[in-house]
Amino acid sequence: MNSVTVRNLLVRGMLAGLAAGLPALVTAYLLGEPHVDAAIAFEEAHSHAHGDEVEVVSRAMQSTAGLATGILVYGVALGGIAALVFCFLLGRIGRFSTRATAALLAAGALLVYLVPFLKYPANPPAVGDPDTIGQRTALYFLMMLLGILLAVGATLLGRRLAPRLGNWYATVAGGAAFVVAIGIAYAFLPAYDNVPHGFPGTLLWQFRLSTLAVQLVLWTAFGLVFGHLAERVVPARQEAPAVEEAAPVAS
């Protein structure tokens, strides 16, 4: 794949990330922000601090312009990274079309998010000990890195087993190995669940599900949009490069 194609895909990946950020923004605003407001109300009702603190950024600004800037910039940045990963994967993970490769990439990105999320889910305001935020952040990214490495390892394992077991059973074996390894990591890594007394459990899980919904919408939209844009750039012969065989010598 030449540099011009890579550059074109990078630009289209960033555009797809921006486009995917729009429905993700709507999802975050409609589903997530009401739960954030409820968590803030709980925190203020149970806080012993005085109300004379100066608010640097208003809540209205945070929930509108701040939210939009954060999600759209996030979408553009991840779209560019995903496009570069797409350039590496195309033609190397099997005879998949451009759109199918984009869909697999989006599913893999969602999995990368889901692995640490299940161990260290997002918390709304008033949940979590501020003294442990550094440790929790480090563990979250460690779990994300482990998920990426174990996913790569499971893919390599499946490819090595494919000649003996067939594609289906090799895929099942690789997926099972990935799940077992992730389960072991979950068991050994520490857990942090500092939920204050009286905080509504329903609100906590509604907030966490809303954050998961934002990621689901973001990567689903990205896979669809980027697959469409990339298909116009990538030549058909690069989607699944065939191995050239020597022509038989005429006798």
What pLDDT, in 10s, does the model give residues 39-94? 888 877 777 654 555 666 677 788 788 889 999 999 999 999 999 999 888 877 76
Residue 245 inside a domain? The answer is no
Would you list the DSSP string of 217-231? HHHHHHHHHHHHHHH
Residue 19 inside a domain? The answer is yes
Residue 109 inside a domain? The answer is yes
**In the prediction, which pLDDT does 184 show?**
93
**In the prediction, which pLDDT does 222 show?**
95
**In the prediction, which pLDDT does 180 show?**
94
Residue 195: DSSP 8-state? P
What pLDDT, in 10s, does the model give residues 170-183? 889 988 999 999 99
For the chain, how many residues are written?
251
**In the prediction, which pLDDT does 243 show?**
41
Quick one: residue 248, left, alpha or beta (phi over 0 = left, psi -120 to 50 = alpha)?
Answer: beta
Write the CA distances from 239 to 2, 96, 98, integer angstroms. 14, 7, 6
- 162 and 147 share one domain: yes
What pLDDT, in 10s, does the model give residues 124-163? 876 766 777 788 888 889 999 998 899 888 888 888 888 8
pLDDT at residue 2 greater than cutoff 80: no
- 74 and 115 share one domain: yes
**In the prediction, which pLDDT does 94 show?**
66
- 159 and 187 share one domain: yes
Q: In this predicted structure, which of 10-19, 62-71, 232-241 has the lowest mean pLDDT?
A: 232-241
**In one letter, which amino acid is 74?**
Y
pLDDT at residue 244 greater than cutoff 50: no
Q: Which of 180, 158, 156 is nearest to 170 (CA)?
A: 158
Residue 31 inside a domain? The answer is yes
**The total number of structural domains that make up the chain:** 2
Mean pLDDT across the stretch 236-245?
48
Residue 51 inside a domain? The answer is no
- 92 and 66 share one domain: yes
Domain that holds residue 24: 1-46+61-127+198-239
**In the prediction, which pLDDT does 246 show?**
42
**Spatial contact of 79 and 13, defined as CB atoms under 8 Å apart:** yes
